[in-house]
Structure 1
Amino acid sequence: MYELLDIFFLSFHTALILFNLLGWIWKVTRRWNLYSLLATAFSWFVLGIWYGFGYCPCTHWHWIVRRRLGHTDMPSSYIKFLIQEWTGFSIEANIVDAGTAIFFFLALGISIYLNIKDYKKK
């Protein structure tokens, strides 16, 4: 059961991250992309007040599953984990965190801009 949950979280969380980064490209998904980015920001910055900056429920639940599977040396960054999992490369956490922030705010800015532009067209 935990093996299936591990695969589910790996697939779902990866897809969610890719949607956050690229969902603004297609007009039909732009509004949902903005909602997803805002939910991510809420999790990181508001829930992060209580659970730690950058808190993500998906990461939290996935780490519970992975601990049950015997994985004990999990990085604090899910993006660092994905890079290691998908490519085998280990990149310094501060570089991954900086890249994550840059790409997140870039995607958020583009999504806000395009959603406003689409709204004004209506």
Structure 2
Amino acid sequence: MVAMADNNSFFFNPLGSFEYCPPSVASDGLLWAQVIKVDTWTGATLTWSSADCYPSEPVFVPAPDAKSEDDGVLLSALVYGRDARRVALLVLCARSLRRRALAAFRTPSPAPKCLHGWFLPHAPQA
């Protein structure tokens, strides 16, 4: 779970809690299948998901001149179920969870679903 409050200048409210929190949610108990934004004051939620796509825990990047707690973007690494070599970096608007950008590419070997770092030895070119 990543709280959006990364800028101490105004993001921390007097109650010491965050208004917005974007956790990833497991659909099958094993793989994370969506990003959810929860308004902890009202209980309202927004979600982002895509078929056969598994996002990592989102990372919040505040806008340089942020005016509110959710003024910025969320970054999430994506892996795919049917194509183990397809990966992507997703950029979502933190306020609306609408996609702002997606950089997709294929890896030389299958990408693990763990998303917490995986190192491959350098293979000499033939």
Answer whether TM exceeds 0.5 for this pair: no
More strand, by proportion = 2
Task: State the structure with more CA Rg.
Answer: 2
Q: What's the TM-score once normalised by structure 2's chain length? A: 0.24
- The one of the two structures with greater contact order (alpha-carbon pairs below 8 A, sep at least 6) is 1
More helix, by proportion = 1
Q: What's the TM-score once normalised by structure 1's chain length? A: 0.25
